[in-house]
Amino acid sequence: MASNLIQLCDLISASVRVVDARCKALSGTYPDLNNAANTPEDEGLLQDAAVSRATSVALAAASQLIASMQYPSRTIIDTSLGCLISAALGVATESSIAEILREAGPQGCHINDIAKANHMDPVKIARVLRPLATQHIFREVSPNVFAHNRISVLLDTGKSSAEVLARPEDKYYGAKGYSALVRLNTEETFKAAAYIQDVVLDSTDTGDELDTPLNRAFGTHTDLFAWYEKPENETRFKRFGMAMDVTRRTSPPGAILQGFKWSSLPQNTLIVDVGGGVGSTSLEIAQANSHLVFVIQDRPAVVREGEKHWEKHIPDALTAGRVSFQAHNFFEPQPVNNADIFILRFICHDWSDSYTLRILQRLRAAAQSTTKLIVLERVIRFVCGEDESYKHIPGAVPADRPPEPLLANMGTVGMAPYLADMQMMALLRGCERTFPHYWSLLREAGWEIEEVYHPVGTLMDQLIAKPV
């Protein structure tokens, strides 16, 4: 019998060949890592179902091969220092290096010239960029000359470096790329994460919802969302709204349209997007389904930003009555009692079980017998495989286990939900949950999960529930 190392190598080789053959069949080429100007068509190849599946297997096998062959001490030490890579990424994003390199062109830009534009110490620029380039974020094309690749270009807002440096408070509004989300991760989350040990290991923990790592890091005793609305956090507040829009874009275009059949809903079906932020999720649904009607609920300050967002993308939706915004606290009684569908996208993970239960109960009290609840969350997978006692629910248990000797949850390929769970631990008292956890929580609130969808290319699951 072949050793695990040979099995992993074979999986990598076979999967890469599948990807290469499929790309050729689609008259394309797998995107080049060193090319910052890959076309949307090139990147779109990654969303092909066959390419996506084979790529996932190759990545899972490659990461497991590294873990198997690398000295254990190296893995532990490198992991313990991983926070420094986040720090470097935060500096690179905040200092507009991405915009400066884009303006310099594919030949790259010397650290001295970067420093002239953003007024940093050139030596520190190199010290930040070099570990990133070692991890294939940016390229060092010649000594002290750095350029973009297909990964680092995602930090680029698409704006001029002069504009960004002159008005940093407006940097993320209407920006391309992932910079808003990266800065949320490398500032608020990064600083709060330093206090996770203090909070988790605190034997005197009282369960105070406002004693989170973020509260300790920033010396506040208010929830994350109220904290964002403080005057001194205006820039962070705007950036957070844009970061939430970026989370939608991390999924392939149309991912929300996979799974649940929005197009089959009757004319004027009323969808209430609870805690919907600026309405990014509903916007994508509405753009493909002009027959649906939306109410988007959030805090008053967010509602104002949401109306601007829709005026930019579907300017006639507000005037035509296809969408309306409503200031609402989802811990209070739900004011819409004729909804056909309630959407909760990345809401449950923000709150502890007791608070999430209150949100779900408010929706159950306002639901009709035919109302559906759609919970959009990253469902945590067990590393050892899923609980087979839920296999009678369509989609609750994956039909196929990954090939041996891969972990049942696909290893680092499926790492995003676990990192998100730690992020919730840092910023809030919330958490990501396993399917049995969601099942129990929704049942207690008067809902029953009837099916689960897993859109291709995204780790955001769709839990469809009905009133009990």
Report the catalytic residues: 349
CB 317: neighbour CB atoms within 10 A?
21
Residues 350, 431 contacting (CB under 8 angstroms): no
DSSP 147-191: E--TTGGGG--SS-HHHHHH-GGGTTTT--SSHHHHHHIIIIIHH
SS3 state of residue 55: helix
Angle, alpha carbons 365-345-257 (nearest 5°): 110
Exposure on the CB side of residue 442, measured as CA atoms within 13 A = 23
Helix-strand-coil split of the chain, %, nearest 5: 55, 10, 35
Q: For residue 344, what are the β-bridge partners? A: 375
Q: 405 preceded by cis ω (within 30°)?
A: yes
Region at 368 (left for phi over 0; alpha for psi -120 to 50; beta for the rest): beta
Q: Which residues contact 366 (CB under 8 A, 6 or more apart)?
A: 333, 334, 335, 336, 337, 339
Residue 227: CB partners within 8 Å, gap ≥ 6? 214, 218, 220, 233
Show the tokens assigned to 53: 């599946």
280-288 and 300-313 helices, crossing angle to 10°: 30
